[in-house]
């Protein structure tokens, strides 16, 4: 069943087309990768889907139209996201960070709390922390965490809302290889529990290793879409990552994009 359906999404800054007519779908429990060289429009895509950037086109969640809705409305409907630079709420503890997304906030609950009614503890918070192995950080202050931990807390914060889908913007950046593999295992488990995931990352062994489906963006356009195996051998993708001259596999040697390109063309170990 399709959870997120994006049709013909377009974003322009002045005369620059940051995104043009990008469409994709993510199904229940599915893990879709969104990759592309720097500046391809991946983060703009997530910003547009979550409503932080004005965009043309149509965004649907569970078949319901979200086009034109405010970001917080989309989030409450079950469209969660993480940020490239974590963007944690620095003044709150880790648990409080999660509570912000987990707790329903209506006029009624706010009024109740004002007069001292204690809301029952929300099980979504410890569940989300456990899903990412962060139980020991519950009472830590967000601004005391290391960069890698901040990323994980960001994912946990999105998960605590019990969303239908999470758009993950480079969750593995700043993690080392083992941590990245560990994150991949945990994301697979999250997807297995039914939450759809859209994963943006430069760590190709992570993306190729865990995703069911991969979409490749270049200059704001989809240039390839398919299973990791199909995308890996797609000439357009190899050209995008290595430059047009490298389409002959024999000449593929390390260039500026070498690191990720090697991972793209080599067979990844599945975790």
Partner 1 sequence: MEPILLFAVLGLGQGALIAGIALGVVVTYRGSGIINLSTGAVAMASAYAFWALTTGFFGLTLPVGPALAGALAVALAVGVLTEVAVFKPLRTVSPLAKLAASLGVLLTLQATVLLVFGVQPQQAPSILPTGTVTVLGITTPSDRFVLAGLVVVLALVLGALYRWSRFGLATRAASENEQAALLAGLSPNSVSMANTLLAALVAGLLGVLAAPIVQVDSMTLPLQVVPALAAALFAGFTSLWIACTAGILIGVLQSVVYYLSTQSWFPSDNGNAMPGLQQLLVFALMVVALYVRGAGLPRRGELVEQRLPAVPLPERLLRPALLSAAVAAAALVVLPFDFRQALTNSMIGMVIVLSYVVITGYVGQISVMQLALSGTAGFVLSHLSVGWGIPFPFSALGAMVLATLLGVAAGVSALRVRGVSLAVVTLAAALAMEQALFNNTSFGGTAGVSVPPPRLFGIDLGPKADFRGLDGNEPSPMFGFLVLAVTVALGLYVAHLRRTGLGRRMLAVRSNERAAAAAGVDVRAVKIAAFTISSFIASAAGTLYGYNFGSVSAARFTALAALGLIGFAYIGGITMVSGAVIAGLMSTEALLPHALDKWFGIKGTWALLFGGVSLIVTLIANPDGIAGAAHRRRTAKRARRAAALTGPPADNASAVGSPEIHLGRTPADAKEVTP
Which residues here bind partner 1, judged by CB under 8 A? 50-52, 70-72, 75-76, 80-81, 83, 87-93, 96-97, 99-101, 103, 105, 109-110, 113-114, 116, 119, 136-141, 143-146, 149, 157-158, 161
CB 270, min distance to partner 1, A = 29
Q: Which is nearer to partner 1, 157 or 202 (CB)?
A: 157
Give whichever of 157 and 186 is closer to partner 1, judged by the CB atom.
157
Q: What 3-state class would DSSP assign to 228?
A: helix
CA distances from 53 to 11, 59, 169 (A): 8, 13, 15
Q: Which is nearer to partner 1, 81 or 151 (CB)?
A: 81
Please tell me the number of Cα atoms within 13 Å of 239 on its side-chain side.
9
- Measured from the CB atom, the residue of 65 and 135 that comes closer to partner 1 is 135
Of 127 and 262, the one with the shorter C-beta distance to partner 1 is 127
Shortest spacing between CB 127 and partner 1, in angstroms: 17
Minimum distance from CB of 147 to partner 1 (Å)? 13
- Output the six-digit token pair for 188: 């697979």
- Least separation in angstroms between CB 144 and partner 1: 6
Residues of 46-83 as b/e, b for ≥16 C-beta within 10 angstroms?
bbbbbbbbebebebbbbeeebeebeeeebbbebbbbbb
Q: How far is the CB of 153 from partner 1 (least distance, A)?
A: 11
For 121-268, strand residue ranges (E) read 165-169, 196-200, 213-218, 221-226
């Amino acid at each position: 069943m399709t959870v997120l359906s994006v049709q013909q999404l377009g974003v322009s800054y002045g005369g620059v087309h940051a995104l043009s007519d990008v469409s994709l779908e993510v199904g229940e429990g599915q893990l879709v990768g969104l990759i592309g060289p720097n500046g391809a429009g991946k983060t703009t895509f997530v910003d547009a889907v979550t409503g932080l950037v004005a965009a043309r086109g149509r965004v649907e969640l569970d078949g319901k139209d979200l086009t034109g809705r405010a970001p917080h409305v989309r989030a409450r409907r079950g469209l969660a996201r993480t940020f490239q630079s974590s963007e944690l709420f620095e003044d709150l503890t880790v648990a409080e960070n999660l509570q912000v997304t987990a707790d329903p906030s209506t006029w009624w609950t706010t009024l109740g709390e004002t007069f001292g009614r204690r809301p029952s503890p929300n099980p979504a918070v410890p569940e989300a922390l456990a899903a990412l192995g962060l139980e020991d950080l519950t009472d830590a202050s967000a601004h005391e965490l290391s960069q890698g931990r901040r990323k994980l807390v960001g994912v946990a914060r999105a998960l605590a809302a019990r969303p239908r889908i999470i758009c993950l913007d480079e969750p593995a950046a700043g993690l080392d290889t083992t941590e990245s593999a560990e994150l991949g295992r945990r994301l697979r488990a999250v997807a297995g529990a039914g939450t759809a995931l859209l994963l943006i990352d430069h760590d190709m062994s992570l993306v190729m290793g865990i995703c069911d489906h991969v979409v490749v963006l270049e200059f704001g356009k989809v240039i390839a879409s398919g299973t990791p195996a199909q995308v890996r051998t797609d000439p357009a993708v190899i050209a995008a990552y290595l430059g047009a001259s490298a389409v002959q596999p024999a000449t593929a040697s390390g260039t500026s994009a070498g690191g990720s390109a090697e991972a793209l063309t080599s067979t990844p170990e599945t975790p």
